[in-house]
Structure 1
Amino acid sequence: MAPDASPLPLLAVALPCLTAVLIVVARRSPRAAELLLGLGALATFGVVASLAVAVRAGRTPTTELWELIPGLSLSLRADGMGIVFAGLAALLWVLASSYAVGYMRGDDAQHRTRFYAFYALCLATAFGVAFAGDLFTFFIAYELLTVSTYPLVTHNGNDAAIAAGRRYLAYLLGGGVLVLFGLAILTVLVGDVTFVAGGFVGDALGPVLTSVTFLLLAVGFGTKAGLMPLHRWLPAAMVAPTPVSALLHAVAVVKGGVFAFGRLIGFVFGPDVLDGLAVTTLLAVVAGATIVIASIVALRQDHLKRRLAYSTIAHLAYIVLGFALLAPTTFEGSLLHIVNHGVLKITLFFCAGALHVHLHLDHVSELDGVGRRMPFTMAAFAVASLGLAGLPPMGGFLSKWYLVLGAYEAEQYLAAAVMAFGGLFTAAYLFPVVYRAFFRGPVVPETVPDRPRDASRLMVVPLSITAGLGLLLGLGDLFGVYDLASTVGASVAEVAP
């Protein structure tokens, strides 16, 4: 697809930035700030939707920003892979903005204006990651995403939040340094670092330097994606308010990390160059081990958000493993799992936040009978759990089906087995929550006060919608995401130039 000059990719990044500025201006009117957050999300969704229409029509809307030095420029481009990620972020931001308002009201949270402003800035940088047209722009956008999310992680301002924020920055900025080294090698020895389906590296580096550069980038992005053993910042960040946890796991930092692996393997090096190199085998081993180990650790977590955090670590490793297998079908499955995991995991975090706000419950051991007090919330939790376990007719089943099928077609039978049986681990740490909620113990006492009715509606409606989306993604090609993923998977399988 030829580039099509358009201001829309830049507008998708600029609108959330403008939203953040307007929220700060309206800081003396909390209701106005809340309204601006929602309007900004809706306006951005409209822009991304129009970009999706253009991409599906065969165009590639591109905004050339500026050239810093010859061969190194900033550019934004909406291609098939970027629109999958951006579409997910735009849709979930609309729902998350409503949920965040309800949560902050119900939890009597302080500094709401600051929270809403950085919430919008975080999404702006996430769209920068999605629409980055080259590796340099991608690097800049990702580091800005890290910095803009830090105030959200430390929002509560207590010792635990500050400690989690320090760990967050140490891990993610440290990973960014490794990415910068890899970027420097590619810029000096290859020149143009514009993303190309099938990769742009070719034979410019040779096998040894190609492996070294790939490892630098993979370790850097692996830190951001929460691959073990570079994952410890993610469970620590669960001290943040639940809307932040939902954002981190579904559409922002860690999801951007696995998206980076798709760009790295499919659009920087290319399957043709990486085929036969030991580095992708090593990456596959690390991802497979992360699936198993993180799932086992999740089984031992009583704190609900920490259990969900380790679940995220395991499921993001599915995505990395799919990319690492270098097969078109697993590439497609990884893209689909970015979407399905985002929808399902944000549902689970929405439910966890509702339990915290309305009943002050944060631990699995406290949830006996809670389903009879909050039936809609726990029904949504049950639906999302079925999807993450990979059971039909949920969307999670289809993305895992493509991952396992692609691994089998590539004759990677051990990887196929790990991904197929990984669903049993997911069921083992999520289904007991549902069982406790509906089939164990007394109903949570009525003496526990509910929060204001408007906060309840603003939280329950979004989690019900995301649970429904998780089901609809398993029933058909919702928004054309399966067709886009298939097209991208086929394009990156082409021989690199």
Structure 2
Amino acid sequence: FWTILASVVKFSIVLSMVPFVLDGKTLEFTIISLTQGVSLQFRVDQFGMFFGVLASALWIATSVYSIGYVRSLNEHAQTRYFFNFALCLSATMGIAFAGNLLTLFIFYEILTVATYPLVAHKETEDAIMGGRKYLAYTLIAGVVILFAIIFIYTLTGTLDFKPGGFLSGHGSSGILIFLFAILILGFGVKAALMPMHEWLPTAMVAPTPVSALLHAVAVVKAGVFGCLRIILYVFGPVLLHELDLWLILAYFAAFTVIVSGMYALAQDNLKRRLAFSTINNLAIIIMGAALLSKSAITGSIFHIGSHGFMKITLFFVAGA
């Protein structure tokens, strides 16, 4: 009851902010200002609102499914399971409405830690190995992202997201290319870009609702969301065109699309096939954003939603 109530309340709160965003307004709230240009801040813009509505809506469906799933199978540690489930979705809301890189990073890491007990929930040897691999990949990625954030602050004196980016005119081409590479590497781990994808098929030992959470609602979508924030709000289309980084990223994503599709066709286990299908679709989203045209970016963002609804349904079927 409390799980469903919390999911409905969260969805209602997110939905109540939609009219303000549709009117072109941006809602801002600063929790604490640490120093000049560095704060823990939430900002509700159109992109963040789209992701927030998607995640909170899918949480309702996942909560209903989870209750039936864990009770019918008499799963152990149900309180721990639902607590971490709720924590994951709360962290996802923080990611969606983060106003700067620091806030995004903090909630990104909360999501990483909260997901580990869910991946390793069954406490079998395979589950523990899958959880440790997930944690190793994502924590190393977090260190890489933190390094990039510190580097960006020393260059610009700010971490706030800005439509069109804020790095133009700061640093040499070599430094900017290096920063883009490590940021995409860091967020690309959760987005399962090849060759940083290996944790995702291994994590399929988790209960089916957790797999749905990983693929459709929170974890990998947070990685893609982070990549798009970097492309559109940190570097910006103009700077990426000037540095020719868009083409490199598009080729990188296209490689992942082709190879992951071939891997998916070779799988006999349904959940592993769906895992490689997710890798394929995430790469399509990033490839669309990398093309930097208005229609490609719009299609990329739309596919975040369409893939979320599609993949959560497929995992529900797999666990039925």
With the length of structure 1 as denominator, give the TM-score of the two structures. 0.64
Match of 1:320 in 2: 286
Paired residue for 2:31? Answer: 65
Is 1:177 the counterpart of 2:143? The answer is: yes
Q: Which residue matches 1:191?
A: 157
Q: 1:355-374 residue pairs with structure 2 within 5 A? A: none
Cα distance, 1:206 vs structure 2: 2.5
> What is the number of equivalent residue pairs in this alignment?
320
Rounded to whole Å, the distance in 2 between the matches of 1:53 and 1:106 is 40
Looking at structure 1, the residues matched to 137 and 49 of structure 2 have their Cα atoms a distance apart, in angstroms, of 28
Give yes or no for the alignment of 1:299 onto 2:271: no
Q: Aligned partners of 1:300 and 1:265: how far apart in 2?
A: 32
Instruction: Report if the CA contact (8 A) 1:62-1:77 is conserved.
Output: yes
Establish whether residue 257 from structure 1 lines up as the match of residue 223 from structure 2. Answer: yes
Q: Does the Cα contact within 8 Å between 2:211 and 2:315 map onto a contact in 1? A: yes
1:84 corresponding residue in structure 2: 50
Letter in 2 for 1:114: R
| Structure 1 consecutive aligned stretches of length 4 or more whose deviation exceeds 3 Å | none
Deviation at 1:213, TM superposition (A): 0.6
Distance 2:87 2:187 in 1: 21
Report how far residue 204 of structure 1 moved.
1.0
Q: Answer whether contact 1:203 1:273 (CA < 8 A) is retained.
A: no
**Runs of 5+ unmatched residues, structure 2:** none
Give distance in 2, aligned partners of 1:75 and 1:306. Answer: 38
2:102 is aligned with 1:136: yes
Tell me the TM-score normalized by structure 2.
0.98
* Unpaired segments ≥5 residues, structure 1: 1-34, 355-497
1:53 and 1:157 map into 2 onto residues whose CA distance is 45
Give the conservation status (yes or no) of the 8 Å contact 2:37–2:160: no
**Aligned residue for 1:353?**
319
Residues 96-140 of structure 1, C-alpha deviations (whole Å, 9 max, x = no match):
100000111122211111111110000000000000000111011
Tell me the CA shift for residue 58 of structure 1. 2.0
CA distance in 1, matches of 2:14, 2:55: 9
Larger Rg belongs to: 1
Matched, 1:101 2:67: yes
Identical residues among aligned pairs (%): 47
Matching residue of 1:165: 131
SS at match of 2:292: coil
Please name the residue that 1:390 is paired with.
none
- Pick one of 289, 305, 309 that aligns with 2:275: 309
- Aligned counterparts, 1:41-440, within 5 A: 41-354=7-320
- Whether the 8 Å contact between 1:215 and 1:279 is mirrored in structure 2 is no
Contact 1:82 / 1:131 at 8 angstroms: preserved in 2? yes
> How many Å apart are 1:281 and its aligned residue?
1.9
Question: What does 1:13-32 align with in structure 2 at a 5 Å threshold?
Answer: none
The two structures, once aligned, show a CA RMSD in angstroms of: 0.9
Whether the 8 Å contact between 1:172 and 1:223 is mirrored in structure 2 is yes
Contact persistence 2:190–2:220 (CA under 8 A):
yes
1:134-161 superposed Cα distances (whole Å, 9 cap, x missing partner): 0111011101110111110010011111
